[in-house]
Amino acid sequence: MTELTTTSYAILGLLALRDHTTYELAKQMRRTVGYIWPRAERKLYDEPKRLVAAGYARSVRDMVGRRRRTTYSITPAGREALTRWLGTEPAPPALEFEGMLRVLFADQGGIDQLRRSLQAIAAQAAARRAHFADMAAGILATGGEYPHRAHVNALGMPFMTAYFDQMAAWADWALKEIEGWEDTTSPARTWAARADDVFADAARPHDTPPPRRS
């Protein structure tokens, strides 16, 4: 076994909160951690085994009827490893944004294709934004699953909402801008002045308003 990856620590972090079955790990990935560190469900069946091999977790198999189930728990060594990891330099964020790729190459296709790509981006961002709105509402209503961790969850929340709000706002802006476009190539001339405005704006760094605090 080589050394642990970020994925290992993501799972170790979940195990630090409480014991998890593999299925519960998968659910947490779908609901929360996966928005920050997306990994295929398949991986969540391999990775905890590595943690066990490294001495950072223990596994217990029990039976639900005649179906087996594995529950993982963190060891003291696992907690130490997690704390050590928290002190190392984080890798820069990486964004995979297929929709933007289509915008960048839009001049190779039709104006309707560009419009539909932007609409898809707006819809995807709105759906994800709604997920976090629901999550926040749920925490407010019930106190959340881990009240003693509300503060760290609250610290991250404004990033996620602003991230998806910004993505949706950008897609709406772009849809508006291309309203007058007749095709995907001629705006190089007809829209040139606005393009220059955009570049001028981008060239001059400025603050966005901080996450809104009411």
Partner DNA sequence: CTCGTATACTGCCCTCTGCAGTATCAGCAC
Partner DNA sequence: GTGCTGATACTGCAGAGGGCAGTATACGAG
Return residues touching DNA (CB under 7 A). Answer: 1-2, 5-8, 21-24, 27, 38-40, 42-43, 45, 47, 50, 61, 64-70
CB-nearer residue toward a copy of itself: 63 or 141? 141
- How far apart CA 123 and CA 48 sit, in angstroms, is 34
Give ∠ CA 36-37-41 in degrees, rounded to 5: 130
Within residues 125-184, the interface with a copy of itself by CB under 8 A covers: 125, 128-130, 132-137, 139-140, 147-163, 165-167, 169-170, 172-174, 177-178, 184
Positions 5 through 24 that interact with a copy of itself (CB under 8 A): 6, 9-10, 13, 16
Around 112, how many Cα atoms within 13 Å sit in the side-chain half-sphere? 0
**Complex with DNA: residue 95 or 141, whichever CB lies closer:** 95
Contact characters 92-111, a copy of itself, x per CB under 8 A: xxxxxxxxxxxxxxxxxxx-
Handedness of CA 133, 137, 143, 144 (dihedral sign): negative
Contacting a copy of itself within 25-84 (CB under 8 A): 32-33, 35-38, 79, 82-83
Sheet order of strands, 67-74 included: 20-21, 67-74, 57-64
